Structure 1
Amino acid sequence: MDFELLLCFILLIADFHRISCLFVTDINVPEIVDFRDNVTLSCSYDMSGHTLNSVKWYKDKMEFFRYSPMMHPVYMKFPVTGIQVQDGKYFCNESTCRIELSLLGAKSTGAYKCEVSGDAPLFKLADKADNMTVAALPQSDPLIESFNSMYRMEELLSATCTSDYSSLPTRLTWYINGEQASLGELQPSIDTSIPAHDYILRRQKLQVRFYLSGPRFYHAGKILELKCVAEIENFPELKRETSLNAALIHYDNLNNQMLIHAGSGASGSASAFTHHSSRKSIPLLFVIYLLLSSALSFL
């Protein structure tokens, strides 16, 4: 083989390897976000010797942003339903592109793609995409109501847990001193829904009722802990919880206190009776004295 031909073949292989190396290394699209928040999307890419021609962002196959470093204007925005690129909130270069979006509710949910292209003559393309769900997420921890600061053993406890409104189904779970409440200790849940912000927002209420008896309370000492956990299926990072503690009074302590109070009360009553009786004994003796005097004078 001729030396020049061999050299051209080697260069062709090397050039083919170089051309095949353009790829998107990473894309950052949040899996789920609240519609009230702004969102930052970013992607990174390896040009491997290519000249960057453009970076394009798509939502559901519709382009809404473009970075073209060799053209004017360098940045371009396109109207797409459900999103709005914030003015001045974007930055792109030869290795990364980051943009910040304002969301417009449920219409912002979709597949977001970052596409990178090299310059002429091949205009090599590489892309990556990911899905983003935009929902009305709970903003506060679950609320526990009808829970007192002190309970007696054998007493019936009844408390209610209420989740915050959410467009995604919420599951409530009660824990009593670290143990999950049994089905027999739970009342049927109550689901309330209202339309708002183009969503159907739902709120869950779950009541727990049980008697303070059994080993889990006798072994717990003097503290009762009640915890309510609100979870959204498939999104463990959205879990919220509330815990409350109460003093737990055992019957032996209660009886001792009752005996002390009863003893104090009885002692006070006895003193009062003695004092009251001594005051009434004087008139009675005087009457007896008069009767005896009259009888003696008669004799």
Structure 2
Amino acid sequence: MNALLYIFTLYILECVGLRDLQIHVPVAIPSGSTLQMNCTYDLENTALYSIKWYLRDQEFYRFVPKESPPTRVFAFPGITVDVQESDRNKVTIRNAQRILTGFYKCEVSADAPLFHTGIKTKLTYVTDEPSSPPTLHSNKMKYSAGDVINVSCITGESYPAVNVSWFLNNQTAKTVELVSITTYSEKREAELLITKSYLIFRIDRLSFPTGRIRVRCEISQFDLYRSSSEIELIDNAPPKLAEVIEPTPPPRSTGNAPRLRDWTSIITSFTMAALTFIVHAELLLV
């Protein structure tokens, strides 16, 4: 009987404890800002024994309700914990720098008798935005049909590397035929990176009937940073001459009435004859 009671008690205890553990960490934050992370959980009426926070498996913050004080901070290069803004659910780090990029782990343990423990991990980036907008350069600014255009887009130093998108006349370059894109990053001092991307395509006037091609390189870093640069390529073909249109002749008269200019001639002749008659009459009277 006692054995059955013991087994039943263990079953009940196994059905309660830590549930629904979730870690809430931003995907990315800019360097120098505040990093606040949360752990939510349901202990189902069991007391909290401890909550611990790790970066790359190294503990830097602990909360134990039964201890006094309940919070403990462990030395970690670059981490400054704001104890006033940290508790059993959250931890706050001030002035976060790039070196704090990594996997953060929240470990929650329920109290006796089972000490159920749950762990959740999530990656976050502390970013340095590019030091300058992207720079564009083309192997030629004027083109002819069949030419191969090579445009480079080079970014300023950043961490991590930026994403690069290309556009031709506001159309995503990847959807244009005969387009090749190559992108890679180079490491510089202090783990910073520059990104180089090359857009290569063959000119087809059917694809660019206006004679002008706007090439745009757009870079982004999560939802924290976005910038772009643009150049315009011009068709090198000679301009077409305007078509000469012959003037339309005036309509021909279809009736018996004389044209307007014939009436004008008649009136003019009549007027001159009348003036001549008057002049002669005045001379005879004299």
Name the TM-score class by shorter chain.
0.5 to 0.7
CA distance in 1: counterparts of 2:192 and 2:10, whole angstroms: 61
Q: Flag the 1:23–1:63 CA change in 2: closer, same or farther, 3 A.
A: farther
Q: 2:117 — aligned with what?
A: 125
Q: 1:65 — aligned with what?
A: 61
Q: 2:15 — aligned with what?
A: 17
CA distance in 2: counterparts of 1:63 and 1:207, whole angstroms: 43
1:112 equivalent in alignment to 2:104: yes
- The one-letter code of the counterpart of 2:74 is F
CA distance in 2: counterparts of 1:162 and 1:46, whole angstroms: 49
Q: Deviations over 1:253-285 (max 9, x none)?
A: 76449x9xxxxxxxxxxxxxxxxxxxxxxxxxx
Say which of 216, 228, 234 aligns to 1:227: 216
SS of 2:157's equivalent in the other structure is coil
1:31 touches 1:132 (CA, 8 Å); kept in 2? yes
Q: Flag the 1:171–1:73 CA change in 2: closer, same or farther, 3 A.
A: closer
Q: 1:215 — aligned with what?
A: 206
Q: Flag the 1:65–1:160 CA change in 2: closer, same or farther, 3 A.
A: same
Shift of 1:22: 1.2
CA distance in 1: counterparts of 2:159 and 2:116, whole angstroms: 42
SS of 1:215's equivalent in the other structure is coil
1:176 touches 1:226 (CA, 8 Å); kept in 2? yes
Larger proportion of helix: 1
CA distance in 2: counterparts of 1:131 and 1:185, whole angstroms: 32
Shift of 1:64: 1.4
Q: Deviations over 1:97-156 (max 9, x none)?
A: 1222243433x244322122222344332222234454544376534468xxx9898698
Instruction: Calculate percent identity across the aligned residue pairs.
Output: 24
Q: 2:154 — aligned with what?
A: 162
CA distance in 1: counterparts of 2:6 and 2:240, whole angstroms: 98
Aligned residue pairs: how many?
239
Shift of 1:45: 1.0
SS of 2:207's equivalent in the other structure is helix
CA distance in 2: counterparts of 1:126 and 1:28, whole angstroms: 15
Where in structure 2 are the equivalents of 1:120-199 lying within 5 Å? 120-134=112-126, 136-138=128-130, 142-144=134-136, 160-169=152-161, 172=164, 174-177=166-169, 178=171, 179-180=173-174, 194-195=188-189, 199=190
1:55 touches 1:66 (CA, 8 Å); kept in 2? yes
Aligned-pair RMSD on alpha carbons? Answer: 4.7
CA distance in 1: counterparts of 2:52 and 2:184, whole angstroms: 47
Q: Deviations over 1:156-215 (max 9, x none)?
A: 8886533232244557554323234788888x98987642xxx23333455668786510
- The one-letter code of the counterpart of 2:55 is K
CA distance in 2: counterparts of 1:145 and 1:230, whole angstroms: 15
CA distance in 1: counterparts of 2:107 and 2:61, whole angstroms: 11
CA distance in 2: counterparts of 1:131 and 1:227, whole angstroms: 32
Q: 1:90 — aligned with what?
A: 86
Report the structure number with the largest CA radius of gyration. 2
SS of 1:13's equivalent in the other structure is helix
Say which of 68, 73, 76 aligns to 2:72: 76
SS of 2:52's equivalent in the other structure is strand
Q: 1:263 — aligned with what?
A: none
Where in structure 2 are the equivalents of 1:257-272 lying within 5 Å? none
Gap runs ≥5 in structure 1: 260-299
Q: 1:242 — aligned with what?
A: 228
1:67 touches 1:74 (CA, 8 Å); kept in 2? yes
SS of 1:84's equivalent in the other structure is coil
SS of 1:216's equivalent in the other structure is coil
* TM-score with structure 1 setting the length: 0.58
Q: 1:266 — aligned with what?
A: none
Q: 1:43 — aligned with what?
A: 39
2:179 touches 2:199 (CA, 8 Å); kept in 1? no
* TM-score with structure 2 setting the length: 0.60
Shift of 1:27: 1.0
